[in-house]
Structure 1
Amino acid sequence: MNRVLFRHKRLGLAVALVSVSSLGLVACGSDNDNNVDSSPSYSATVQRTEFGIPHIVAEDYLGLGYGLGYSFAEDNICSLANEIVTANGQRSLYFGDTPGNNRSDIFYTWYSDPAKQQELLGAQEPEVLDAIKGYAAGYSRYLRDTGVDNIDPTCAGQPWVQEIDELDLAAVYNKGNLRGGLSNFVTPIVLAAPPAPAVASLSVPEDYEFDLSTINVTKGGSNAYALGADVTENGRGMLYGNPHEPWQGVQRFYEFHLTIPGEIDVMGAGQQGQPFVNIGFNKDVAWSHTVSTAKRFTLYQLQLDANDPLKYNYTNADGVLEKRDIVPNEVTIQVPGGGTRTGTVYTSHFGPMLAIELVNGELAPFAWGNGATAFAIRDAASENPRGINQWYSMNKATGVEDLEARLKETLGLPFINTIAADRFGKAMYADISTVPNVSAAKFFQCNLSLGQPALLGLAQSGVAALDGSRAACEWDSDDDSPQAGILGGANLPVLINETYSTNSNDSYWLSNPDEPLNGDFSPLLRRNLLPSGNTVDAAYPRILRTRMGIVQVQDRLNGSDGLGGNKFSLRKLQEVGYSNRSYAAELVLDDVLSDCFANPTLPVAGGGTLDGTDGCNALANWDRRNDVGSRGAHVFREFAKNADFQGMMARGKGFLVGFDENDPVNTPRNLDIISPAEDPDSRLAVRQALGDAIQRFNDLGIALDEQLGVLQYEVDAGNNGERIPMHGGSGSEGVFNVLGTRINDQGEYTPATAGPTYMQTVTFDDEGPVAEALLAFSQSPDSTRPFHRDQTRRYSEENWIALPFSAAEVAAKAIGEPLTLTE
Structure 2
Amino acid sequence: MSTRLRRTVPTMVIVVSTLLSTGAASAGSTAANARSAGTDDVATVQHDGYRAVIRRTQHGVPHVLAADVKSAGFGQGWAYAADRGCDLADQVVKLRSERARWFGPGPDNAHLASDFGYHALGIRTKAERELTKLSPDVRAMVSGYAAGFNAYLERSGKLPGWCADAPWVGKIDEVDILSRERDVAITMGSATLLGAITLAQPPTRQERAKGTAPGVDAEPGRKLVAQQARTVLRGDRRTAALGSNGWAVGEERTTDRGGLLVANPHFPWEGENRFWESQLTVPGRLQVYGANLGGLPGVQIGFNRDVAWTHTVSSGWHTTVYTVKLTESDPTRYLVDGTPEGMTSRTYSVRVKGTDGSLQTVRRTLWQTRYGPVIDLSPVDPSYGWSRTQAVTFQDANIGNGGILEQYADMAKARSVGELKAAHRRHQAVPWMNTIAADKSGGTWYADTSATPNLSADGIAAWLSHPFGVLDGSDSRHAWQKEPGARQPGLVPFVRQPQLSRQDYVFNSNDSYWLANPERPLTGFSPLFGFENVPQSARTRQNALMLRKSGPASVSGSDGRISLAEAEKGLTSTRALTSDHLLAPVVRACRAQAGTPVVVDGRSVDVTKSCDVLADWDGRFTVDSRGAVLWRETLAAVERAHPGSVTNAGALFSEAFDPARPVDTPAGPAADTAPVLEGLAKAALTLEAAGLPADVPLGRVQYAVKDGNRLPVPGTAGFIGATNVVEHLAQPGSSLEPATPGGTPLAYGDLTDQGYPVNTGSSFMLVVNFTRNGPVAKGLLTMGQSLDPGSPHFTDQTRAFARSELGRRPFTEKEILADRHLATEMVTGRVAR
Equivalent runs, 1:212-361 vs 2, <5 Å: 214=231, 216=237, 219=240, 220-315=242-337, 321-336=338-353, 337-358=358-379, 360-361=380-381
Offset of 1:423 from its aligned partner? 0.4
TM-score under structure 1 length normalisation:
0.86
Distance 1:769 1:484 in 2: 39
Equivalent residue, structure 2, for 1:602: 598
Contact 1:240 1:762 in 2 (8 A): yes
Given that 1:304 and 1:311 are in contact with CA atoms closer than 8 Å, whether structure 2 keeps it comes out as yes
Residues in 2 aligned to 1:51 and 1:582: alpha-carbon distance in whole angstroms: 29
Deviates more, 1:648-657 or 1:614-623: 648-657
CA distance in 2, matches of 1:524, 1:262: 42
Q: Secondary structure at the match of 2:183?
A: helix
Contact 1:580 1:737 (8 Å CA) reproduced: yes
Is 741-750 or 377-386 further displaced after alignment? 741-750
Matches within 5 A, 1:146-185: 146-148=156-158, 151-152=159-160, 154-185=162-193
Q: Which residue is equivalent to 1:367?
A: 385
The equivalent of 1:772 in structure 2 is 778
Matches within 5 A, 1:471-620: 471-518=476-523, 520-526=524-530, 528=531, 538-554=532-548, 556=550, 564-599=558-593, 600-604=596-600, 606-620=601-615
Q: Is the Cα contact below 8 Å between 2:113 and 2:220 reproduced in 1?
A: no
Task: Name the amino acid aligned to 1:342.
Answer: R
Whether the aligned pair in 1 keeps the contact of 2:120 and 2:373 (CA below 8 Å) is no
Contact 2:151 2:829 in 1 (8 A): no
> 1-side partners of 2:48 and 2:319: how far apart?
39
For residues 259 and 394 of structure 1, what CA distance do their matches in structure 2 show? Answer: 15
Name the CA shift for 1:427/1:253 in 2 (closer, same or farther; >3 Å): same
Shift of the alpha carbon at 1:122? 3.3
Give the stretch that moved more between structures: 291-300 or 326-335: 326-335
Shift of 1:380: 0.5
Which structure 2 residues correspond to residues 77-88 of structure 1 after superposition, within 5 A? Answer: 77-88=85-96
Partner residue, 1:128: 138
- In 2, are the aligned partners of 1:57 and 1:260 still within 8 Å (CA)? yes
1:395–1:293 distance in 2 versus 1, CA, 3 Å: same
- The answer for the alignment partner of 1:103 in structure 2 is 113
How much does 1:689 deviate?
3.2
State the partner residue of 2:712: 725
What's the % identity of the aligned pairs?
A: 32
Residue in 1 aligned with 2:195?
Answer: 187
Following superposition of structure 1 onto structure 2, how do residues 7-18 of structure 1 map, counting pairs within 5 Å? none
Does the 8 Å contact 2:397/2:451 carry over to 1? yes
Letter paired with 2:495: A
Match of 1:804?
810
In the other structure, the counterpart of 2:749 is none
CA distance in 2, matches of 1:83, 1:313: 38
SS, match of residue 295 in structure 1? coil
TM-fit CA distance, 1:551: 0.8
| Correspondence 1:647 to 2:659 | no
SS of structure 2 residue aligned to 1:231: coil
1:642-670 Cα deviation digits (max 9, x unpaired):
32277235676544211111100011223
Q: What's the Cα RMSD here?
A: 2.5
* CA shift for structure 1 position 307: 2.2
Whether the 8 Å contact between 1:366 and 1:372 is mirrored in structure 2 is no
In structure 1, C-alpha distance between the alignment counterparts of 2:685 and 2:200, rounded to whole Å:
44
CA contact (8 A) 1:55 1:257 kept: yes
C-alpha deviation, 1:589, in angstroms: 3.1
Cα separation, 2, equivalents of 1:773 and 1:660: 37
Deviation at 1:200, TM superposition (A): 4.1
Q: Which residue of 2 aligns with 1:633?
A: 628
Distance (Å, rounded) in 1 between the aligned partners of 2:149 and 2:70: 13
Distance apart, 1:560 and its partner CA: 6.0
Residue aligning to 2:680: 690
- How has the CA–CA distance of structure 1 residues 566 and 711 changed in structure 2, closer, same or farther, with 3 Å as cutoff? same
The whole-number CA distance in structure 2 between the counterparts of 1:767 and 1:562 is 23
User: What SS class does the counterpart of residue 472 from structure 1 fall into?
Assistant: helix
Give the residue type in structure 2 aligned to 1:789.
T
* 1:196 Cα deviation from its structure 2 partner: 4.8
How far apart, in 2, do the equivalents of 1:112 and 1:635 lie?
49
Matched, 1:117 2:117: no
Query: Secondary structure of the residue that 1:479 maps to in structure 2?
Result: coil
Gaps (5+ residues) in structure 2? Answer: 6-14, 16-24, 29-46, 209-215, 730-741, 745-751
Matched residue SS, 2:402: coil
Equivalent of 1:430, from 415, 437, 447?
447
Alpha-carbon separation, structure 1, partners of 2:433 and 2:276 = 18
C-alpha distance in structure 2 between counterparts of 1:757 and 1:48, whole Å = 20
TM-score for both structures, normalised by structure 2: 0.85
The 1-side partners of 2:719 and 2:228 are apart by 17
Could you list the per-position Cα deviations for residues 441-483 of structure 1 after superposition, in whole angstroms to 9, with x for gaps in the alignment? 5312x445xxxxxx61213xxxxx3221132322112212221
Tell me: CA distance 1:540–1:785, structure 2 relative to 1, closer, same or farther (3 Å): same
Give unmatched runs, 5+ long, in structure 1: 9-38, 316-320, 449-454, 460-464, 529-537, 676-682
Matched, 1:663 2:658: no
Displacement after TM superposition at 1:760 (Å): 0.6
After alignment, is 99-108 or 39-48 more displaced? 39-48
**Counterpart for residue 699 of structure 1:** 689
